[in-house]
Structure 1
Amino acid sequence: MELSQKRFVTIICTYIRAVNGVYGGAAHDAHVWSLSNERQYMPSNYQNGDKSSWLIGDSGYPLEPWLLAPYRNAEENSLESLHNEKFTKAKSIIERVFGILKSRFRLQYAPKKVVKILNVCCALHNICLIYNVEAPTVIEINEERSNLALPNVDQNEFSRIAQTIRDRIKISLRS
């Protein structure tokens, strides 16, 4: 699964499972995430024993055992940079979902109007996936970069656990 926010919506995919268009692009994705029902569910799920479900987010998201982010300032040709390269490839899945969603429905309306029809478009998108409706051939991919700093990981137990998880994934790339 992956988590991302573009302009007006937070989406968890492969199928679109969570949509939040309330902020209309006026809030940072990490802020929208922090207020979401999904954000409330993930720590509870983790503490109840699910240690193998992860979302991936860009560097604007906090590092948590259920939410992984890329390494910052990874040295070229290091395991961290290899991890980030693989991470970016995985993250391209959400970019493709956004591109397909935009191509299918061409929502070129004001954000207030898009919010009113967004859930229906996402449901129709999922139905198209279930019934193997071919995606449009023109897919726009526009990756946005975030400048939100990560929290001080030394003050957060969950961040230390998440670093360990990310490091284990990085080390597994050696083989």
Structure 2
Amino acid sequence: MYSVAAQIVVDRDMRILNVSTGYSGGYSDSHVLKLSRMYTEVVSNGLLDGQSLLLHGTEVPLYLIGDLGYPLKTWLLTPYYAQNRSAWEEAFNRKHGQVHSIVSMTSHVLKRWGVLAQKMRVSLKMATATIGACCVLHNMMFDWNEGLELEDYALLHSEQPLQEPEQGDVEIDYEIGRRIRDALAMEVYGQT
């Protein structure tokens, strides 16, 4: 039996846009991210290139959100983890948590396939194929509106433990990502 790490990217409607799996369950989220094809598509092939928005003097490009297991990047925004957060940082974390709960909901729905809710006694290759197949079936069910009513799934938001993200490669990307996150946080706070 293997522990398998899986990274999924979902949209606001719980459709799975990308899945990366087949890595040992011991891999950290940031390590899986760097090994994923999505990372290459974003960093090297401009997957998220597009129109940006100017907020509080900062250019905010298209971005994804991730939990504290991921590194803060210009295109991947994580919550604030400092113990003493400002009101606008708290507002950002609340909004981030609401949006991130869609990932938790999607994970919960995937486990309804049964095979993903229990230990799989198969090879890593077969476990990876099974996860991929369940993701495809998940999207097909949503496309066909067959038995998946969002009311059935309460938003599963739990506070992420406050811990500092991994300090592997500290890049200039982090500083720009911090400015982007700060600009969004000020915008979110201004709307509350």
TM-score range, shorter chain: 0.7 to 0.9
Deviations 1:92-147 (A, max 9, x none): 00000000010134422236343231111111110011111222747895967585
Distance 1:128 1:146, change over 3 A: farther
List runs of 5+ in structure 1 lacking aligned partners: 1-5
- Superposition TM-score, scaled by structure 2 size: 0.74
What is the CA–CA distance in structure 2 between the aligned matches of 1:54 and 1:126, rounded to whole Å?
22
TM-score (norm 1): 0.80
Which one scores higher on RCO, CA 8 angstroms, separation ≥ 6? 2
Q: Tell me the equivalent position of 1:21.
A: 21
**1:127 aligned residue (140, 145, 154):** 140
Q: Choose from 55, 76, 84 the match for 1:67.
A: 76
Map 1:68-147 onto structure 2 (within 5 A). 68-75=77-84, 78-107=87-116, 108=118, 109-110=120-121, 112=124, 113-135=126-148, 137=152, 145=161, 147=163
CA distance in structure 1 between the aligned counterparts of 2:148 and 2:68, rounded to whole angstroms: 29
C-alpha distance in structure 1 between counterparts of 2:157 and 2:127, whole Å:
19
The gaps in structure 2 that reach 5 residues or longer are 53-60
Give 1:8's aligned residue. 5
Distance in 2 between residues matched to 1:18 and 1:86, nearest whole Å: 23
Tell me how far apart the structure 1 counterparts of residues 157 and 112 of structure 2 sit (CA, whole Å). 13
Change (3 A) 1:106 1:142: farther
CA contact (8 A) 1:54 1:68 kept: yes
Do the aligned partners of 2:5 and 2:32 also contact (CA within 8 Å) in 1?
Answer: no
Give the alignment partner of residue 151 of structure 1, picking from 153, 163, 167. 167
| Residues matched between the structures, number | 169
RMSD: 3.1
Equivalent position SS for 1:17: strand
Match status 1:162 vs 2:177? yes
CA–CA separation in structure 1 for the residues paired with 2:140 and 2:63 = 25
Of all paired residues, the percent bearing the same amino acid is 26
Give, in whole Å, the separation in 2 of the partners of 1:105 and 1:134: 15
Contact 1:74 1:81 (8 Å CA) reproduced: no
